[in-house]
Structures are given as structure tokens and as C-alpha cells.
């Protein structure tokens, strides 16, 4: 066989090889594409046909016979206002004792005008260890207006100390309906020395320059802000006590000497 024939046969064989290789490669690629498409289809969630949408889950319902709670959530209650207090040590000379309308000594006034509060249930102990004119040192808390709530009082004259203590539990107390039985009707007028305040810091009365104490509930006192100031001339009627330590009343009428206002409609003038 000639070399030309051999060359022709070789060329035909190479073409067959390339054709077979191309077909095999194409078949392999097609199989791979089919496999990839199958995997993607398996991973993609199917979209339901119109009309076959799943129904939404029903909302939770209260048990039969139980009314649903339709009340709005309660708003947080702000903490009550409390007058700011700071630890304090005061020293001075006792000018006078002060009493409450029931007649208990519940504090004292120093010569510099500082008002010192002390629990009324310790009234008898307080007056037994000190008297006006004594120099005292007081440890306690001072509020924003300068008043001191005493926790301990030391009499420098005799060295005796008195500390705030809770009232004894075994001491009998008068029932509420009898606690005002000893009060008498009082009528006073004079010039304001200073304004007194309740534990929360609101004005609740005045001390006159002669030492008389006039007390009112804070909501009532707020009606007389123009009179609750030093050097104002005021008048008051009410029920209280007058004893060797001073005079104090719970006002039922308050104002100026020529214009006094009845505070409670169900009380006699």
C-alpha cells in the first residue's frame, strides 16, 4: 500500500477519534447540567399555585366563658417626691420648744432660727433632759429649707443624750375617736416668723413670732401661698392646745385679721 493511502487512513482515524471524544465530552456536560438543575430544583421552595395558598394560623382565643383582656398596659407610677435631705450636725442654744396641736413637744427652735423636729412620742423624755437656754448638739438630717430631723440630741450642759427610738409597743394609746377630746377652740393672730413643711417638703403651716404654731393640711395650705411667708400678718381659728410649752392649733379658718376664710363647710365658726 502506498504512503498516500496510509496517510488517508490515518487522517480518517484521527477524525473518528475527535468525533468520538467530542460526543463523549458533550454527553458528560449534558449529564452534569441535568444533575445541577435537579439539585437547584430540590433546594428551591415550590410556589403554591393560585387557589392552593395555605391558610394563616388562627389567632389564640381565650377559653370559653373568659372575657378577653382589653385593658391597656398600666403606666409606671412615678416615685413619690421626697424632700432632699443631707446628714447634718447642728449646734446652738434652745430658744423655745414647739408643740403639735395635741400638746406634745415635737421639736425645738434654736437661737439662730433653726427648727429641729423630734418624734412626739418622746416628748416627756425631751423636756426632762433639756430646757430653753441649754446649748445642744444635734445629729440628724437637714432638708432643703434648713429644718433638721434630729436622730440624736446632746445637752452640753449636763452631758445627757437623747436618741430617736420607736414608741414602745406595750404603751396603750387612745382610740382615734378620743384623740381630739382634749383639744380646745383657739383663735390667734400675729406675724409669721417662719413657714413649716410636711415630710415631703410642702408647706403645712406657720410659726408666729410669739411661738404659736398653726397647722394645715398641705393641699389647704397651698390656697394661701401669699400669706405663707415671713412677716405676713395672719389670723386663724381652730382646735388645739395651750400649755406651759406654747400654743398650737389645727386651723379650721385662716386668712388675714380682716378677711378670714372658713376652711371646712361642716364645722361651726
Within a 10 A sphere around the Cβ of 114, how many other Cβ atoms? Answer: 19
Distance between CA atoms of residues 108 and 153, nearest Å: 11
Note the pLDDT tens digit of each residue in 88-129.
788 999 999 999 999 999 999 999 999 999 999 999 999 999
pLDDT of residue 261 exceeding 50: yes
DSSP the chain: --HHHHHHHHHHHHHHHHHHHHHHHHHHHHHHHHHHHHHHHHHSPPPPPTT-PPPPPPPP-PPTT-----PPPPPPPPPPP---EEEEEEEEEEEEEEE-TTS-EEEEEETT--EEE--GGGHHHHHHH--TT-EEEEEEEEETTS-EEEEEEEETTT--EEE--PPPTTS----GGGTTTT-EEEEEEEEEEEEEE-TTS-EEEEEETTS-EEE--HHHHGGGTTTSSTT-EEEEEEEEEEETTEEEEEEEEEEETTEEEES-TTS--
Note the pLDDT tens digit of each residue in 120-169.
999 999 999 999 999 999 999 988 778 899 999 999 999 999 999 888 77
pLDDT of residue 60: 53
* Structural fold of domain 84-164: OB fold (Dihydrolipoamide Acetyltransferase, E2P) (2.40.50)
* Structural fold of domain 178-269: OB fold (Dihydrolipoamide Acetyltransferase, E2P) (2.40.50)
Note the pLDDT tens digit of each residue in 18-61.
444 444 544 554 444 444 445 445 454 555 555 555 555 555 55
Domain locations in the chain as residue ranges: 84-164, 178-269
Contact at 8 Å (CB) between 151 and 181?
A: no
- More confident of the two residues 65 and 143: 143
Contact at 8 Å (CB) between 248 and 123?
A: no
Q: Residue 49 has which C-alpha cell?
A: 399555585
Pairing of strands 246-256, 213-215: parallel
Amino acid at each position: 500500500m502506498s504512503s498516500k493511502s496510509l496517510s488517508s487512513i490515518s487522517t480518517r482515524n484521527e477524525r473518528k477519534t475527535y468525533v468520538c471524544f467530542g460526543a463523549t465530552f458533550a454527553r458528560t456536560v449534558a449529564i452534569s447540567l441535568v444533575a445541577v438543575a435537579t439539585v437547584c430544583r430540590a433546594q428551591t421552595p415550590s410556589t403554591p399555585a393560585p387557589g392552593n395558598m395555605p391558610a394563616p394560623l388562627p389567632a389564640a382565643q381565650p377559653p370559653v366563658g373568659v372575657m378577653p383582656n382589653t385593658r391597656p398596659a398600666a403606666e409606671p407610677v412615678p416615685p413619690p417626691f421626697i424632700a432632699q435631705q443631707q446628714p447634718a450636725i447642728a449646734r446652738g442654744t434652745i430658744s423655745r420648744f414647739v408643740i403639735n396641736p395635741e400638746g406634745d413637744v415635737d421639736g425645738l427652735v434654736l437661737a439662730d432660727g433653726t427648727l429641729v423636729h423630734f418624734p412626739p412620742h418622746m416628748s416627756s423624755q425631751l423636756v426632762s433632759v433639756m430646757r430653753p437656754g441649754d446649748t445642744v448638739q444635734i445629729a440628724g438630717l437637714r432638708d432643703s429649707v434648713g429644718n433638721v430631723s434630729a436622730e440624736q440630741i446632746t445637752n452640753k450642759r449636763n452631758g445627757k443624750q437623747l436618741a430617736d427610738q420607736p414608741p414602745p409597743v406595750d404603751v396603750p394609746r387612745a382610740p382615734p375617736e378620743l384623740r381630739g377630746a382634749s383639744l380646745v377652740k383657739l383663735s390667734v393672730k400675729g406675724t409669721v416668723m417662719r413657714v413649716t413643711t410636711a415630710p415631703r417638703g410642702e408647706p403645712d403651716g406657720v410659726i408666729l413670732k410669739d411661738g404659736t404654731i398653726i397647722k394645715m393640711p398641705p393641699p389647704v395650705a397651698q390656697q394661701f401661698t401669699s400669706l405663707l411667708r415671713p412677716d405676713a400678718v395672719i389670723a386663724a381659728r381652730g382646735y388645739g392646745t395651750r400649755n406651759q410649752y406654747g400654743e398650737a392649733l389645727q386651723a379650721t379658718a385662716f386668712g388675714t385679721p380682716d378677711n378670714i376664710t372658713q376652711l371646712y363647710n361642716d364645722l361651726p365658726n
